Structures are given as structure tokens and as C-alpha cells.
A and B are shown apart, each in its own frame.
Chain A
């Protein structure tokens, strides 16, 4: 369990993080969202005990990260931003060092090393210097040191940054594959990542929480949530837009290359059948008809920029 209360960090007069309060229980995978400079990394540095907060406190499984940092840090696996590692070492040398520093020994040490190397598919590069590895492998070495001691809490600062789509997919699968009794905190500015791996999302802007809920609830905040998009190649789209605009509850219709998007002012689950009925009665030749779940980037922008104005 992680309890964060009134966490605040000032750099001089500048509030990097202001009054964060939240609680995480095992099984939660939290996505920290926010534009660059919103305070994501600063928050993570305080959660792991690298930075001391200006005020407020963090408790990891009951241990205060400031006062009882060693027992709190034993619960944590941490991937700092940019996945730093000792570049002159080999992955195996580096992981053995982390194992020793974490106090692993004997059979447990061997087993954990084997398993981690397996999960991160590092077998082929074990003897190569880290500085010669590709960005993807470096990131995997960083993730490997974080999960090596099978921690209860995994804190990952932009774990998929700079990875190619396949590697991103692998990392996400790895995070999702962690057992249910763990807490994972992932920071990202990639929105799809939140819907792909997280079951909770906190949006930060200017150091403050502007939204805290499920990725689903975040999507529902989009004006496009529940909107219906209709594509037709043989019927005039403007004609469709005009007719659809007359459906009760419709706020606006947008004509784009993707077709006509029909947006209601309030979420309306019957919109799809209404549009379907209309198209049948008008005899439109419909190529596709779909319901939008919401546009996360719109929500993200309105949440984080709204704070600026």
C-alpha cells in the first residue's frame, strides 16, 4: 500500500509538485499523465526517496520514506528517467551488483537473476558492455534491475520512451503480466499507454492533480464519447450531416475524411440505433458505422491546458 499525503515540492519559489494526496492498493496500475514539466518525475523521485519533499509525506507499506527509508526502499523497484546504468559494465555484472546491493543470496539470487534475464530476454547480450547496447536493450536492462528483487511496488518513469512499437508492446505485456498483489506506477505522456496497461489514471498539470479516475472515466470526459461516425462513399457527406443534425440531442456534426461524426451534447446510448434507422429510411449507402469511445488527447489537452489559462 502506498499512502501519499499533501506531498509538495518547491524549487525556490516554484512549486514543482503541490499538495498531492492519493492512496494506492495492491493490484492498482496507476498511470501518471501530464505534459512535460507537470511534476511526474519529481513526484516519482519523492516516492522513491531520492528527493526530500518540501512538505507532506509518503508511506510505503507503512514505512515512511523519509524516516525509515531503507525498509520502504526494500519494497520498491525503480526505473529512473532515461534508465541510467553503469555503462562500462555488462548486463550480467550490473544485475549481479544490484542483486548484492539488494541483499539477495544463494539459490534465491540465482533464481531471481535467471528469471529476470528470461523475462527481459537479455540472454544474448549478457556479456556485452551496456554502452554498446541499443536503446531498447538498455531500457530492458533498466527494467530488469527494477524487477530483480520481485518488488511489491514498481515505479517506472517513462518505461517505453524511445522504444519501437514491438518493444513498447513487450514492456506493456510485462507490466500487465505482473501478479495482482503488486502496485505499479507508470509515468508517461503517451496516452494510449494508459488505456493499454493502467486501471487508474492521474492527470497532473503544473504540479497539481487535475483528474483522478479510471482510464474509462477519462475517456468519458471527451465530448466525443459516444459519438457516432458514419462513412459513405456514394452518398454526399454534407447531405448526411444535414439530415443527422436534425436528430434530437445532436449538438454538432463534423464532416472529415473519416466520414460524418455526429456528436451529442449529452451521452446518448441510443444514438447509434437512431443513426442506423435514419440511414435506412433515407436509403444511404453506408460503408461503415462506428461508436467512438472518446478522444483521450482532447481530454488531456483540455485538462492540462485549461489549467494554464
Chain B
């Protein structure tokens, strides 16, 4: 249970600096802008939160790297990584602790969008089960983005590079089911592998979720994305140790 020690410290770290407040403010403003202006929340005249959730992949694409970029880069740069890695804590405790803190933090930001949920309930009679499922799905997807970002941050001590790398790799995952990515691999990969790449798409999985169809399959998909990328984080840290 040592990961809770790390998680507690990291979470405290977010709120001890302006990072948390700036992030939450920007997240709330942007999700509002997307929902009302780009999503035509009112004009649609429908009591659901599809316009709100369907922009989350794009919102996360550049906001999540802003959280994840500091996960390891900052510790490596300031030297606290050396402190952390020489404490009698297992690697996985540190990796999981840091990830969970970031994930809980993203969850707090997401939860603070609750006024939109109140709004839609005031204006109409939405299916609240669907909304809860969508919130859960959005949070799972945020975890996927964060796990990718954790690995990218472990690679470098520059937060800027970590940000850019995370944004880029995340974009590949978001778009994996679309021509942008598929055209790159079509032609030299066998069809089964192309289908595999396509099935890795955040968008494909999340589109179902944002309509309230949160199947076990989508849930397992995001869980495995998280597990795989946290495993990769651990491997990168280990490689750096031997470098």
C-alpha cells in the first residue's frame, strides 16, 4: 500500500502550486465554450450531454499533457527522482502512486463540470444513467491519456518535450481509427494488423461511451491502455537507471 504515500504527496503537490487552479479554471472554461458554441447545446433542443462529452477527446488532447508532462520530468530535473528512487519503495508503487494522483486530479476537474449536469436537468429530462456512464467513460479515457503522458514524461527531463511527445502519441491513439493514421499503415501492414490499429482508437471507443453505451469492452480497453503504458513507464525508468 506504499503507493498511497506517493499519491498523497503528489496530490498535495498539485494543490500547493497554482497549477491545479489554473488547470481546473481553463478546463472548465474550455469545456463550456466547446459545449455551448461548438456543440450547439441549446440549438439542438435535446436534453442530453452529447455536445459536452463529444469534445472531451480534443480537450484532453492538449490539456492532459499539461498535467502529465511534469509527472517524471520535474523530479528528474530537480533531483527529487533520485530521492524517490532510493527510498525503500518498489518501482510499481511509485509509478502507480504518481499516476493515481494525476488521475484523481483529472477526476476532480471533471467532477467540477457538474453545473452542466444541473443545467440539463433543469432544462429537460435527460437520462441520468447515460450521463453517469459518460462521466465514467470520460474519466477512463483521461486515464488513458495520462498513462501515455506518464511514459513520455519518464523519457525526458524537459517538460516541453514531454508535453509535445504526449500530445503527438495521444493524437495517434485518438485518430487510430481514421484515415489520418490508417493511411500511414495501409499498404504495408496486413489487414488483420490494420484492423488492430483501428481498434486502438480512443475516438471509436469513446464515441460509444459519449452516447451512454459504456460496454465492458470499452472499459477493458481503457484499463488495458493504462496498464500497458504504465508498464512502459516502468521499463523506461529502468532503462534510464542503467543508462
Q: Which residues of A contact B (CB under 8 A)?
A: 11, 45, 48-52, 70-71, 73-74, 76, 78, 80-82, 84-89, 93, 97-98, 100-103, 145
Query: What's the minimum C-beta distance from A4 to chain B, rounded to whole angstroms?
Result: 16
**Residue ranges of B at the interface with A (Cβ–Cβ < 8 Å):** 2, 5-6, 8-9, 12-13, 16-17, 78-80, 82-83, 85-90, 241-243
Give 6 closest A-B pairs by Cβ, nearest first. A84-B79, A88-B16, A52-B242, A80-B82, A73-B88, A48-B86
> Could you tell me if A101 and B5 are in contact, using CB atoms closer than 8 angstroms?
yes
**CA separation between A300 and B89, bound complex, in Å?**
39
What chain A residues lie within 8 Å of B78 (beta carbons)?
A: 84, 87
Q: Are the CB atoms of A45 and B5 closer together than 8 Å?
A: no
At the interface, is chain B mostly helix, strand, loop or mixed? helix
Taking the closest CB of chain A, its distance from the CB of B65, in whole angstroms, is 21
Q: Knowing that A50-B241, A87-B78, A97-B9 are A-B contacts, what are 8 other residue pairs whose CB atoms are under 8 Å apart, sorted by A's residue number? A: A49-B85, A80-B79, A82-B79, A84-B78, A84-B82, A88-B17, A89-B13, A101-B5
Q: A204 vs B88: C-alpha distance in the bound complex, in angstroms? A: 29
Complex Cα distance, B9 from A80, in Å, reads 20
A103→B88 contact, CB < 8 A: yes
10 inter-chain pairs at a CB distance below 8 angstroms, sorted by A residue, are A49-B85, A49-B86, A76-B86, A84-B83, A88-B16, A93-B12, A97-B5, A100-B8, A103-B2, A145-B83
CB of A265, distance to nearest CB on chain B (Å): 48
Whether the Cβ atoms of B90 and A70 lie closer than 8 Å is: yes
Give the CA-CA distance A51 to B237 in the complex, in Å: 11
Partner of A101, one of B2, B13, B16: B2
Give the residue name and chain of the B residue nearest to A98 (CB).
Answer: B87
Contact assessment for A102 and B88 in the assembled complex, using a CB-CB cutoff below 8 Å: yes
A74 cross-chain contacts in B, Cβ below 8 A = 88
A85 touches B83 (CB 8 A): yes
Which residue of chain A has the shortest Cβ distance to B97 in the bound complex? A101
Q: Give, as a whole number of angstroms, the nearest-CB distance from B22 to chain A.
A: 14
